[in-house]
Every structure is written in structure tokens, then in C-alpha cells.
A = this chain, B = another copy of it.
Amino acid sequence: MRSVNPSTGDAIGADFPRSSRADLEALADTAFDAIDALADAPGAKIAGFLEDYAARLDSDRAGIAAIAHEETALPLSPRLSEVEFNRMTFQLRAAAECLRDESWREVARDEKNGLRSTLVPLGGAVVCFGPSNFPLAFNGVSGGDFCAAIAARNPVIAKAHPAQLNTTARLFAHACAARDGAGLPKAAVQCFYDCDADDGEALMTHAAVAALGFTGSRASGLRLKAVCDRFGKLSSLEMSSVNPVFVASAAGLERAEGIADAWAASVLLGGGQFCTKPGVIFVSGEAAAARIAERATQILRAAQPTVLLSEGIRTHLAQSLDALRGIGARLMCGGNQVGPGFRFEPTLCVLDAGKARANRSIALREAFGPLGLVIAIEGDAQLVDFARMLDGQLAATMVSDAADAATRDTLLSILRFKVGRLLDEAMPTGVTVSPAMVHGGPFPATGDMRFTAVGIPTAVKRFSKLLCLDRVR
């Protein structure tokens, strides 16, 4: 298996092997070796591994960023070589700090009764499936789930995303060097590049595998979730979200163009390939909706075609657009695949409230890429109804003026139960790494609304187990 340069469609880099079911079983068997070693190592030793890993990455910044750029067509600078690179190394160092200060442990003591409870490692490996859209900061061998799994002292078995084989191999080489340098067992960090879907699912059932960290499509996520659920394995799944923006009537009339500017910029960010892309904007009032659609159309029409991360994403985007048009969405601009490589024109659609209401699952389906949908709503009462009908989301934004206060309060009281992160005015792209961040949300955005995938130490707790030592000497 080889990677593809999405700017040209040409195969690039090394040829990577497909792991058989026996290969994956061997990886998992090996993971047994690292469970106790990681659980019992001095925190400073594992922290040292992460810090050395981060330093090795820093020293290969240009090389790594160049490969990631070639494989993803994401902008080299500042996106890959600075913003995402720094996020990756920041997370590794934050995980190291977490190992030193043990801030994830949640220790509770009851001396009178001889009880001490604390979070401990899982007693098994975490299988990390990284997504397509963050080759560094969410990569299975260097990203958020990797950091959280290691901070909680679990072995990691990472699967490279098929669009990032060479990037992953380069990162993994640094991870191995740092791991070996720190004297950790090889089984602490393992990686594979390709497998049959069935074999990946079988891996999750292995006795040495305790949990899954997955960021990707809803279809793949639900398939892996079903396996984990049946075998009682933990799973942290980030699956899909349209992160809707709700524009109340007064704000829409007052500030249509400014709202459109902010929204369109957020839709285009990262080529529309952020999990937090605000794919849908609900606008209360036909006039405001028309103005927002018109202005956003101008912006998207003026933007260059986006090179998408993979052919699969482009196919899915085209299918999503067809589905939208099939339920009566009007195409305002874009809509075409263009060459070379996997390019797609920035695309805007407008849909009436009635059609959106009748076809919610199509209107509110996540589609990666530079596609935005304006839904024109009759008024604030109907806007609120759309909030009520919403499935679980990572994020949602409320846009309101003083005259919209009642609508905004009602939206807030509904959306607090529908999303992991709720914003006033601000667009949801851009997820600060902070202990107060929540990158999570109700099903089907994620698998468990009690957790966040971003933010240390909170994210670490996903991959932990609660243990009480009861009168233990």
C-alpha cells in the first residue's frame, strides 16, 4: 500500500505492508510485555520518553512537515510546520507533565476505613486510530489519543491513517528511538499501516487490548464501537458533527454580512476538513438568510478550489452534495470536482426550512470539505425547534443580539444537552488545548458525553480504570 499525493493523484513514498490477522495478534500478544512495565515505571521515565520524543520531532520539524504536506496537501506554513506541529509537541510535553505530577489520578483517601481509590492504567493496550485531517496532532503515534493513552501508562498500538503512511512512519521512527532510549519495552508503542477491516475489529477483541481511541467517520466508528461494546472494551470515539450555527432574527437582520464573513471563513478553514467545521447555519428570517447566503456565496466563489485529503473524501463530498440537491437544496456556487488531484470547488447550498425538517438526516449529515449549507428558517420559534430536533454534536454556536435575548436563552437551555461545547458568537473551528476545553459531545458525535478528547488531564481519564485499595498493606 502506498500513499497518494492529493495535489496530483500520484502514488508517493514507500510501499507499506498489509498486516494479516496473525500479524495483529502478534502485536497484541507483545503488548502484554509493556502493561506492568508502564504501570510500574517511575513517572519521570515515561515523561522522559515523551519529552525526548518531542525534542526529536522538533529537530526534524522541516522534514516531517514536508512529508505531511506532500501526503495531505494541507498548507506547509503556518498550518503544518508551525500550528499543528507545535500542538503535537505541546501535547506530548503536557502528557509528560501529567505523568510527573500525576494530575489524572483522582486520588481519594478515607483513612478511617482504610480506603484509597485512584485511577490506574487499563491493564491492556489502547488501539489508536488517527483521523485523516490532523496528520500530526491527532496521529495515532503522536496525537491526542496517543498522549492520553501513554499518560495513563497504557501501551499503544497505533494504526496509521491510509492517507498518512509516510508521515506516520517518520513520526513512529522518532517514537521508537525515544522509547528505546528511555529503556521502555518495544511493546510500549507499536504501529501498523494497513489491514482488513475485519482484522482490525478482531484486534479489538484480544485479551491484551483494553480500549480504542478512534477519530474518523461515523460508519467506521460505529462498526468498531459495536465490537468494543460486545466485548466490554472501552472506546473513545469521535465520529461526526455538523456543529450548527444558530442565527437569531435580530442579529441576522442587523449583521448578516459580518456573520456570513465569519461563517464562510470557518467553513473554508483547513479546506473544510475540521471536525468542528460549522457545516450548517440556521438563519431565522428569510431576508437575513438570503443576505447571509449571498455574501457567503461571494466569498466561497472567490476562493480557490480545495485540495482534499483523499479521493475518498472527495467522493463522499460529491455524494453529500448530490444528496442535498436531491432534497431540494439550491446550489449557489461551486459543486464541481476539478483537477489535478483531488480538488473540489468551494460550494454553497441553501435549503428551505420545510425541506430540512422533512429530511433532517440528509440535511444535517457531516461532509468534510468546503461545503456550507444555509438553512432559511421561518422565525425564532422554528429556529428553537430545530435545536430541539438536533442530534448530539461536538459544538454549536449561538448568534444573537440584545433583542434576541429570549431566543438565545431558550437555545442555550436546549443546546447545553446537545453539544460538548457551546459558543456565543464565535465559530467552533479552533479547539484550544486547555484543561477547560471539551472536544466531545452526545452520541453520535462521540460515544460518551462524559469525556473530552482534548484537554489534559481530563482526556487522560478516558483510558483509565478506577481501583480501590481496601485495607491493603
Which A positions have Cβ atoms within 8 angstroms of B? 35-36, 39-40, 108-110, 113, 115-117, 119-124, 225-226, 229-234, 392, 395, 412-413, 416-426, 428, 432, 434-438, 440, 442-444, 447-452, 455, 458, 461-462, 464-473
Shortest CB distance A455–B (Å):
8
Inter-chain contacts of A116 with B (CB < 8 A): 436
Q: How far does the alpha carbon of A77 sit from the alpha carbon of B442 in the complex, in Å? A: 45
Inter-chain contacts of A469 with B (CB < 8 A): 421-422
Shortest CB distance A453–B (Å):
11
Q: A39-B416, A113-B434, A424-B471 are in contact. List 20 more A-B contacts (CB 8 A).
A: A110-B432, A113-B436, A115-B432, A121-B417, A122-B449, A123-B417, A124-B417, A225-B229, A416-B467, A421-B467, A421-B468, A422-B472, A424-B473, A426-B471, A428-B470, A437-B468, A438-B466, A449-B466, A450-B461, A450-B462
Do the beta carbons of B437 and A451 come within 8 Å of each other? no
Do the beta carbons of A467 and B422 come within 8 Å of each other? yes
A and B contact pairs by CB, cutoff 8 A, 17 listed: A40-B413, A117-B436, A120-B416, A122-B449, A123-B418, A416-B467, A419-B467, A420-B466, A421-B467, A423-B471, A424-B470, A424-B472, A424-B473, A437-B468, A442-B465, A449-B465, A450-B462
Inter-chain contacts of A113 with B (CB < 8 A): 432, 434, 436
> Chain B residue with minimal CB distance to A398?
B472
Contact of A447 among B232, B418, B461 (CB under 8 A): B232
> Chain B residue with minimal CB distance to A418?
B123
> Chain B residue with minimal CB distance to A119?
B450
Given contacts A109-B436, A434-B110, A435-B108, contact A234 B424 (CB under 8 A): no
Do the beta carbons of A470 and B121 come within 8 Å of each other? no
Inter-chain contacts of A232 with B (CB < 8 A): 392, 442-444, 447
Shortest CB distance A269–B (Å):
16
Q: How far does the alpha carbon of A109 sit from the alpha carbon of B36 in the complex, in Å? A: 35
Stoichiometry, as copies per complex, reads 2
Inter-chain contacts of A117 with B (CB < 8 A): 436-438, 452, 455, 458
| Leading 8 A-B pairs by shortest Cβ distance | A123-B417, A232-B443, A438-B468, A110-B436, A115-B436, A229-B229, A108-B436, A421-B468
Shortest CB distance A302–B (Å):
28
Q: How far does the alpha carbon of A285 sit from the alpha carbon of B394 in the complex, in Å? A: 56
Do the beta carbons of B465 and A450 come within 8 Å of each other? yes
Inter-chain contacts of A455 with B (CB < 8 A): 108, 117
Q: How far does the alpha carbon of A473 sit from the alpha carbon of B402 in the complex, in Å? A: 12
Do the beta carbons of A115 and B451 come within 8 Å of each other? no
> Chain B residue with minimal CB distance to A446?
B232
Q: How far does the alpha carbon of A455 sit from the alpha carbon of B106 in the complex, in Å? A: 13
Q: How far does the alpha carbon of A423 sit from the alpha carbon of B40 in the complex, in Å? A: 19
Do the beta carbons of A436 and B468 come within 8 Å of each other? yes
Shortest CB distance A337–B (Å):
34
Do the beta carbons of B115 and A467 come within 8 Å of each other? no
Q: How far does the alpha carbon of A258 sit from the alpha carbon of B416 in the complex, in Å? A: 56
Given contacts A232-B444, A416-B120, contact A470 B115 (CB under 8 A): no
Contact of A435 among B110, B438, B470 (CB under 8 A): B110
Shortest CB distance A211–B (Å):
10
Q: How far does the alpha carbon of A230 sit from the alpha carbon of B117 in the complex, in Å? A: 32
Given contacts A451-B466, A465-B449, contact A423 B234 (CB under 8 A): no
> Chain B residue with minimal CB distance to A462?
B450
Shortest CB distance A425–B (Å):
7
Do the beta carbons of A470 and B110 come within 8 Å of each other? no
Contact of A467 among B39, B435, B438 (CB under 8 A): B438
Q: How far does the alpha carbon of A428 sit from the alpha carbon of B422 in the complex, in Å? A: 44
Inter-chain contacts of A233 with B (CB < 8 A): 443
Given contacts A424-B473, A437-B117, contact A108 B458 (CB under 8 A): yes
Inter-chain contacts of A449 with B (CB < 8 A): 122, 234, 465-466
Shortest CB distance A79–B (Å):
20
Do the beta carbons of B36 and A413 come within 8 Å of each other? yes
> Chain B residue with minimal CB distance to A228?
B229
Most B CB contacts (10 A, CB to CB) among A229, A395, A416, A470 go to: A470
Q: How far does the alpha carbon of A472 sit from the alpha carbon of B422 in the complex, in Å? A: 7
